[in-house]
Amino acid sequence: MKKRLAGLLGLGLLLTMLTFGCTVSVGVPPYTPPPPAGYARVVTADTVNVRVCPSARCEVRTVVYRGQGVIVYEYNSGWARVVVSDSGVGGWMDARFLRLP
């Protein structure tokens, strides 16, 4: 009797989930792909390090500031290869901190 009741409850739960949908939130915002390469972008964070290579362990080449323009040439694992518009300095920065102008 208990097995049959448990089976019916499980089936009812499955049908409810299929009918109304089920979502799980783990506190991580949805992934937003970076903008396409080769275009002007604007820095969105107060300060962002521009590095020699696409890693947080690499040497910092320069720092860019909110509102400053860059040109993006390539993306690699969440990093953008950029050239800073006003100084011409190139390097890699975290692509999350870029938006369309």
Residue with tokens 């521009």: 50
Contact between 98 and 33 under an 8 Å Cβ cutoff? The reply is no
pLDDT score recorded for residue 5: 60
Mean pLDDT of 38-47: 94
Q: Who's near 18: CB < 8 A, 6+ residues apart?
A: none
pLDDT score recorded for residue 85: 94
Per domain, the residue ranges of the chain are 40-99
pLDDT score recorded for residue 84: 96
Dihedral-angle region of residue 13 (phi above 0 means left; psi in -120 to 50 means alpha; beta otherwise)? alpha
Cα separation, 99 vs 69, whole angstroms: 10
How would residue 38 be classed by pLDDT, with cut points 50, 70 and 90? confident
Q: Determine the topology of domain 40-99 in CATH.
A: SH3 type barrels. (2.30.30)
Residue 18 clears pLDDT 60, i.e. is over it? no
| Structural tokens at position 67 | 């509102």
Maximum separation of any 2 CA atoms in the chain, in Å: 77
Mean pLDDT of 67-77: 94
* Other CB atoms within 10 A of residue 23 CB: 4
